[in-house]
Amino acid sequence: MSDITIHEGDEYTAIFHGGPFDGTTDTRTATSDALDDEVTVFADVEGLQTAFTYRATKSRQVLDQISVEFTYEPGESDPVDDLADRGDRSGEFDRE
């Protein structure tokens, strides 16, 4: 993807585009001497741990700061219903 030099243990900033983490950032630690091509981030969705996959699309280095932009890959992530498709569940657990 680029000629950025990174070493195991170095930190970089991940910038997420699309999906549930759109517009968020995360400080990540390199687990090898290369930037990650993809990352999986987890979130609880309706009480279930759900995996979301993001693929690296762009990286840059300014002085000693490295940032990588990741784009959401819905086909490689766990399926999640859109909020509009979930219906009204407000009384789902009511007891009579």
Q: Are the C-beta atoms of 25 and 12 separated by less than 8 Å?
A: no
State residue 23's pLDDT score. 95
- All residue ranges of the chain with pLDDT < 70 are 1-2, 81-96
Per-residue pLDDT of 2-12, as tens digits, reads: 578 899 999 99
Q: Are the C-beta atoms of 71 and 37 separated by less than 8 Å?
A: no
State residue 64's pLDDT score. 87
Q: Which uninterrupted H or E stretch holds 66?
A: strand 65-72
Which pTM was predicted?
A: 0.77
State residue 88's pLDDT score. 55
State residue 95's pLDDT score. 47
Residue 29 makes CB contacts below 8 A (sequence gap 6+) with 9, 10, 11
State residue 70's pLDDT score. 97
State residue 81's pLDDT score. 62
The two tokens of residue 20 are 């549930």
